[in-house]
């Protein structure tokens, strides 16, 4: 077993540091990590410590989650096919809210049911994360399609 001096580490009472703001505090290690000597701590990793981690931290995404993502992507693509349009207005400076770039005339665009306009690639990536309009937060794809 190795031991390390704790004199330079976390104080026993939470207090602001001169290197942090008043809202930041340092805390003492939990009791299971301390040895009988208050100035040392045991450095170890046990199976119990590993098992306490959240499951998503232990294992990489499995095949079912990848398949689920592919299914979601396919559903979003099918939805967007039905919402494709072309920008034919002479209005200038129409900007995609997601990428903040101008939407050019005659480019493929996606129009959500709330009538907000996006680049197809931008809204597809957005909908993989959130099923809502990036502008008004209205539901983008009805539940039966997601």
Identify the band that residue 17 occupies on the pLDDT scale cut at 50, 70 and 90. very low
Contacts of 55 (CB under 8 A, 6+ apart): none
Which residue has better confidence, 86 or 51?
A: 86
Give the separation between CA 6 and CA 38, rounded to whole angstroms: 8
Contact 73, 128 (CB under 8 A): yes
The predicted structure's pLDDT at residue 76: 79
Contacts of 125 (CB under 8 A, 6+ apart): 98
Domains, the chain, with CATH or none: 1-54 (no CATH), 63-145 (3.30.40.10)
The model's pLDDT over 24-70, given as tens digits with 9 standing for 90+, comes to 444 444 444 444 444 433 333 333 444 444 444 444 556 667 777 77
φ, ψ at 48 (rounded to 5°): -60, -40
């Amino acid at each position: 077993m190795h031991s390390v001096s704790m004199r330079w580490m976390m104080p026993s009472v939470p207090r602001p540091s001169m290197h942090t703001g008043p809202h930041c505090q340092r805390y003492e290690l939990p009791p299971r990590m301390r040895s009988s000597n208050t100035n040392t701590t045991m450095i170890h990793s046990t199976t119990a410590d590993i098992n306490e981690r959240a499951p998503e931290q232990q294992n990489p995404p499995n095949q079912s989650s990848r398949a689920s993502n592919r299914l979601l992507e396919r559903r979003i693509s099918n939805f967007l096919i039905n919402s494709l349009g072309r920008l034919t207005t002479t209005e200038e400076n129409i900007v995609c809210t997601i990428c903040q770039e101008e939407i050019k005339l005659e480019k493929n665009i996606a129009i959500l049911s709330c009538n907000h306009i996006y680049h197809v690639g931008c809204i597809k990536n957005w909908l993989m994360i959130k099923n809502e309009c990036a502008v008004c937060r209205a539901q983008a794809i009805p539940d039966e399609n997601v």
